[in-house]
A = this chain, B = another copy of it.
């Protein structure tokens, strides 16, 4: 047979919005190769484990969160020979969009995991370990595109949220301001995007905002247009 066995890993692009800023979860490598460099979290797929299960397991190990309004989807597969100096390693990258989980659990693997501003990474031109910069770029592109034609932005929000919080998600991911008035009309006018809870939040010195849950719809027709 003209082939050889290879190792298969999953790598995760975990995105969240913290303080109106898009952030990605990165780990600092403690062992060679690329020792001391930042990398995407990930690991080997177990013997009898499905790919989505492996991605979910890694996500839980790194962040402690488990499906609480978050979203996980396959991104792309990278297998260029030489991408890992230790041998032929094919990695299936997954994209996760999660609400801000607060302080990260100081678990075994997650000891070195931290949130990093995507804006700073992109302007600073910082190189990640392996081909992880390329994977991160693919994840950001996918996330930015999907907010246009899906309701996935709610995956970044806690179970209940205001329209303003949802708008700040869009602004953080796209790096562009949106008109609050038109955004409100677009979201509330799209059937199934969000669902009113009936309660309000009287936080700061302003009119209390209605609280919403994610609705049943997943696609957005017509799309939310980028400015």
Number of copies of this kind of chain in the complex: 2
Interface string of A31-64 (1 = CB under 8 A from B): 0000000000000111111110000000000000
Taking CB atoms and an 8 Å cut-off, the chain A residues in 1-47 that contact chain B are 1-8, 44-47
Chain B CB within 8 A of A92 CB: yes
Nearest-Cβ distance from residue A81 to partner chain B, whole angstroms: 5
Tell me whether A45 and B92 are in contact (CB under 8 A). Answer: no
Stretch at the interface among A72-80, A168-176, A196-204: A72-80
Q: How many chain-A residues does the 8 Å CB contact rule pick out? A: 27
Tell me whether B81 and A3 are in contact (CB under 8 A). Answer: no
Task: Give bound CA distance, A88 to B8, whole Å.
Answer: 11
Nearest-Cβ distance from residue A83 to partner chain B, whole angstroms: 9
Across-interface contacts of A1 in B (CB, < 8 A) = 44
Tell me whether A6 and B6 are in contact (CB under 8 A). Answer: yes
Can you list 21 residue pairs at the A/B interface with Cβ under 8 Å? A2-B44, A2-B46, A3-B8, A3-B46, A3-B47, A4-B47, A5-B5, A5-B6, A5-B7, A6-B8, A8-B8, A47-B88, A48-B81, A51-B78, A51-B79, A51-B80, A51-B90, A74-B76, A74-B77, A77-B92, A79-B92
